[in-house]
């Protein structure tokens, strides 16, 4: 599943931009594939806000510097559509719509019988098991103007966008690639980053519901500097009670989504989530993991990925790595 704006090419750079960083991973063409190069750059607040490009000139200058430093000029790229822009929705269409007519049907019905909180969406869909009377689909959509703002920015810098994806699918792709997925599993992914949290529930490989939450971020409360390896190191120097309140709010949202799945999405089967998958770049991620173990009876998984002699790919780059695995069979 990906937004159908581009066609596939080889030797692709995998870029992930959010409100506070730019990251990339390049795979070495080997079997099994290995991460060959990776890096990241901090973005000051106000350049990207809630996934939308706010300061295009500054972002352009920063990406130009990254292209030069990372030696990725004139490359094809995949990128993640920022989480705040994406919605996932289950829709039903008439059973007699043929498979090759679904895309056109959705184009016609978006804005009329299928309502989204924005106009002019870019979208993709995934077929679900129908009931014999309708075809059920999982619709992935985002505002085209904001997605294309990224694509046009990249193109202006001689980077060629060939695919766009969403973060829960990239994370699940890596999870599945590492053979961590179980049969009939209901997986609850928690992507806990510095400025946002993404929650998504998968039945086997299908993401049924996604929720996105912004985290308050005051740069004055953080000490930000490169570590010995050149990666960004965040140290919180503000009032710790503020973080406790933020985390408490997210744990409440996790409980709400657990209940929503249990009582509304599981087709009256009263199924439960069988595992959490925790990932993210938040510097308190270990404390978050420990707190989740205390609060929830569901097992919690974390991912590590070793890449030949270079050692483990840093945890904050695993989304980029999952995106890089998109075309790997």
Interhelix angle 144-156/56-70, rounded to 10 degrees, is: 50
Residue 265 and residue 217 share a domain: yes
The domain boundary, picked from 143, 159, 179, lies at 143
Residue 7 lies in a domain: no
Residue 205 and residue 95 share a domain: no
At 287 the pLDDT is 94
Structure tokens given for 144: 């085209």
Residue 168 and residue 34 share a domain: yes
At 30 the pLDDT is 63
Contacts of 302 (CB under 8 A, 6+ apart): 277, 278, 279, 289, 315
Residue 205 lies in a domain: yes
Residue 102 and residue 134 share a domain: yes
CA distances from 143 to 3, 49, 82, 121, 197 (A): 11, 15, 11, 5, 20
At 115 the pLDDT is 85
How many alpha carbons lie under 13 Å from residue 268 in its C-beta half-sphere? 0
**Number of domains within the chain:** 2
Residue 221 and residue 273 share a domain: yes
Residue 310 and residue 224 share a domain: yes
Residue 109 and residue 198 share a domain: no
At 266 the pLDDT is 62
Q: What's the pLDDT tens digit per position in 127-162?
A: 887 777 888 899 999 999 999 999 999 999 999 999
CATH of the domain at 317: 3.30.420.40
Name residue, tokens 């193109």: 155
Position 271 confidence tier, pLDDT thresholds 50, 70, 90: confident
CATH of the domain at 110: 3.30.1490.300
48-49 and 12-18 beta bridge pairing: unpaired
Residues facing 40 on adjacent strands: 23
Residue 70 and residue 173 share a domain: yes
Q: What's the pLDDT tens digit per position in 61-86?
A: 999 999 999 999 999 999 999 999 99
Q: Which residue has the higher pLDDT, 241 or 316?
A: 241
Q: Which residue has the higher pLDDT, 315 or 11?
A: 315
Omega of the bond leading into 99 within 30 degrees of 0 (cis): no
Identify the weakest region by mean pLDDT among 161-175, 202-216, 310-324.
310-324
Residue 136 and residue 220 share a domain: no
Residue 4 lies in a domain: no
At 259 the pLDDT is 92
Residues facing 138 on adjacent strands: 90, 126
CA dist., res. 312 & res. 110, Å (int): 44
Residue 29 and residue 39 share a domain: yes
Domain that residue 98 falls in: 87-143
The domain boundary, picked from 116, 143, 170, lies at 143
Residue 45 lies in a domain: yes
pTM: 0.90
Average pLDDT over all residues of the chain: 89
Residue 322 lies in a domain: yes
Residue 259 and residue 116 share a domain: no
Residue 69 and residue 103 share a domain: no
Q: What's the pLDDT tens digit per position in 214-252?
A: 999 999 999 998 887 778 899 999 999 999 999 999 999
Residue 95 lies in a domain: yes
The domain boundary, picked from 108, 143, 178, lies at 143
Residue 2 lies in a domain: no
Tally Cβ neighbours within 10 Å of residue 16. 25
Residue 18 lies in a domain: yes
């Amino acid at each position: 599943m990906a937004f159908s704006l581009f066609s596939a090419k080889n030797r692709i750079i995998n870029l992930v931009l959010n409100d506070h960083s730019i990251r990339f991973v390049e795979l070495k063409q080997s079997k099994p594939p290995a991460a060959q190069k990776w890096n990241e750059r901090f973005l000051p607040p106000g350049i990207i806000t809630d996934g939308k490009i706010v300061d295009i000139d500054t972002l352009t200058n920063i990406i130009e510097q990254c292209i030069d430093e990372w030696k990725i000029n004139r490359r094809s790229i995949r990128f993640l559509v920022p989480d705040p822009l994406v919605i996932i929705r289950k829709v039903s269409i008439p059973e007699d719509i043929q498979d090759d007519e679904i895309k056109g049907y959705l184009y016609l019905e978006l804005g009329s019988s299928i309502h989204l909180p924005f106009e002019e969406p870019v979208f993709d869909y995934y077929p679900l098991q129908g009931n014999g009377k309708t075809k059920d689909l999982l619709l992935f959509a985002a505002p085209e103007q904001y997605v294309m703002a990224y694509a046009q920015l990249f193109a202006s810098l001689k980077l060629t966008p060939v695919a766009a994806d969403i973060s829960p699918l990239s994370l699940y792709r890596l999870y599945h690639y590492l053979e961590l997925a179980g049969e009939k599993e209901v997986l609850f992914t928690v992507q806990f980053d510095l400025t946002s949290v993404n929650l998504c529930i998968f039945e086997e490989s299908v993401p049924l519901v996604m929720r996105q939450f912004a985290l308050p971020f005051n740069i004055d409360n953080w000490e930000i500097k490169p570590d010995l390896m050149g990666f960004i190191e965040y140290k919180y120097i503000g009032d710790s009670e503020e973080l406790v309140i933020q985390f408490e709010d997210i744990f409440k949202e996790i409980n709400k989504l657990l209940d929503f799945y249990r009582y509304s999405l599981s087709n009256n089967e009263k199924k439960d989530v069988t595992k959490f998958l925790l990932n993210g770049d938040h510097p308190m991620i270990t404390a978050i993991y420990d707190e989740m173990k205390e609060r929830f009876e569901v097992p919690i998984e974390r991912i590590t990925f070793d890449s030949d002699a270079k050692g483990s790919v840093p945890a904050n780059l695993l989304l980029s790595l999952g995106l890089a695995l998109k075309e790997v069979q």
